[in-house]
Structure 1
C-alpha cells in the first residue's frame, strides 16, 4: 500500500467514525499492522479475551471480506459485531481494509462466554445497541468506501478468471508446441513438490503459478479431454489438501472441501469451468491454513446461535444448520461443543424451553399449543425436556409462578 493510498484509507476511517460514531480501524493486511492509532478502539485495547488479539481479528475480517466479494459481518470471541471491507490494488490483490466495531447488536444474554462477559460487563453496557438493519447499512457504506479506495472490483474471482483465461491460452499454445516437437511427456513431480512447499508456506502467488504449470502438463498429456483430466485433478486435490493440513489447516474443514469438490466433479462441462474451480479450491485450502482458527470458530458459533434463535419454532436438522454455516455436520458439532460446552441439540432445546417459559407466564395457551409453537413435535417430549432443564414440569412451573404472584398481591 503506497503512501497516497494509505493517507486516503486513514482519512476515510476518520470520516466514517465522525459520521457513524462507530470506531473504524484502517488495516494494512500485507504488512499486518494498523495504519494509525488516532481512533483506536479502547474497548478492544482493554479486552481480556485471550482468543481475540485485536490485530488478528482485524486481519481475519479483511481476509474474509476479500473472500466474500468485499464485505463481511462477523462476531468477535465476546459475541460483539464487527464489520469489515477489503481494499485491493489494481490487479485484485488484497492490500488491507476498513474494520468497524465492536458493535453491540442484541442484548448481553446473547453472549456465550459468561466469564469474559462479567469482566467486560461495564464496557459492554456502554456500547450503543444497533439494529440489524443499521449494521447492514454500515456494512454497505463501508464496502462502498473501500471499493472507491480500491479503484477496482472487490471480487477476487474476477482476477482469477482473467488469469485463468491467460493461463488456458498459454496451455493451448504450449500443447501445440509440444505436439509439433514430439516431446516426451513425464509428470512434473519436482513442480508438485514445490507446490506442496508453497501451500505449506502459505505462499499464494507461488502456489498459483506452480498449479498452472501442473495443469498445463495434465491438460496437454490428456489432449484436453475432460474425462481423462478429471481423475488426475482429483489426485492433485488430495496432494494439495494434505499440504494444507500439514500447514495447520483443520483436517475436518479440509475433508469437507474435498467432499464438496468430489460431489461436483461430474458437473464440470469444460476445461475452463474446471480450471476456475480448482483455482478457487486452492485458495480455500491456503486460506484454511491462516492462524484465524479461534476467531473463526467463535464467529461460526455465534452465527449458528443466530440461526437457531431465528428458527427455533420449526423443525431443524443438523444438516440444515451446518449448511447455513458452510461446514460439515461433524466439524460444526465439534467446534460448537468445544466453544460452548454443549451440543447443538442441547442448545436448541434450551432456547425452545426458554421461549416456552415466557409463554407459560404470559398467556393462557394450552401446554400442547405452547410446545408446538416452540418447535416441539409432541407434548410428552416437551415435558421431558422441560423437566430435565428446569427441574419441574411445565404445568408445575406455571402453577408455582401463579402462586407467587397471588402471594405478592
Structure 2
C-alpha cells in the first residue's frame, strides 16, 4: 500500500511540475490532513504579500482548506479569491470517494495592477512603507487574463486531479451531477417553503406514476418523476439523514420489483440492488449520498433501459412506451400490434401474458393515471380532461375513472384538495 502511495505521489509530482513549466504558475500539494507534501514555483506559501500587510498565515491556511472542500463538491475544480484578493485555483486528486491529495495553484493577478493596489492594498493600510513593500511583492505575482482562468482550472483538474489510480471521467460527471442534484433539491425545498400549502405527506401517487414509468420503459418520464420524489423526500424529512436513506432504500426496492415485473433481467437487477444496499450502509452525509445516488441511478437506468436492439429485443417496452406517449388519442389494438411487428391476435395474447391486463384495460388505466394528474389543475373542467386523456366524452371518462379508482373524478378531486393523497383503487 505504501509503495502504491509513493508511486501515485510520484506521478502527481511529475504532473504538477509539468503544469508549472507550461503555465508559469506555482503549486502547493498537501495531504487531506493539511500537511505539505511538495511544492513548485511561486506558490501560495511563498507569497510575501500577506507578511507585508501583517496578514496572519493561518487565515490563508483556512481559505485553502475551504477551497479544497468546495472543489470536491463542485466537480473537481474551484476558482477563488485568497484573503489578499489574489486569485487561486483548488483541485483535489481523487479516487471514487476518497481524496488522496489537494492542490492549490496560484496566487495570480487577474485585474489591472493599479486597480488592485487601489481596491485591495490601500483599503488594508495607508502605511507608505508597507504599501511600497506590497507593491514590490506584487511584481513577482504572475498575471493571467480573466478569460484564461477557467481553461487553466479545467486543464489542472484533467491533467493533475485525475492522476489517482482509480480516477475515471465518470467520477467527474457524477460529482458534477451530484452538485446539480443538490441544487435541484435545494430549489425544490425553497419553492415548497414559499407555497401557501406546502407538501405535508409523501406523494404516493407520484411514486405510483414513477413505478409505472419504469414498467413502461419510459426513461425520460421515470427520471422526471424520480427527481420530484427525491425533492419531496428531502423536504419532508427535514434533512434527517437516516430517514432520507431509509426512504431511498425503500424506493430502490420498489423500483427493482417494478423493473423485474416489466421484464428486466432479474439476476442483474437483484445483484445491483444488493450492491447498492451494501454501499449505502457506509454513507453518512448528504454530499456523499448525492454523489453515490447519481452513479447508482445511472447504473440502474442503464441496466433497465439500455436493452439490446434488434430482433432479440422484447417488443413490450417499446409498445408500452408508445402507449404512454399516445394514450391521449385513439389507439387501436392493430396499431399497437404494428409497433411490435406482430399479428393482432398473437399480440393480444402476449400483451395479456406480459402485463396481466387486456389491451383495452391497460390503456384505460394509462388514461386514468393521466387524468389524475390533470385533476390537480383546478382550471380544467371534466369535459376538458376527458378530451385531453383520450376518452370519448365526459360520461365515458366518469364511468372508466370510477371503475379503476372507486371514485368519480369530482370526488377524487375534492378529496385531493382536502389532502387525501392515498386513495384506494
Report TM bin, short chain: 0.3 to 0.5
Q: Which has the larger radius of gyration?
A: 2
Output the TM-score relative to the length of structure 1: 0.38
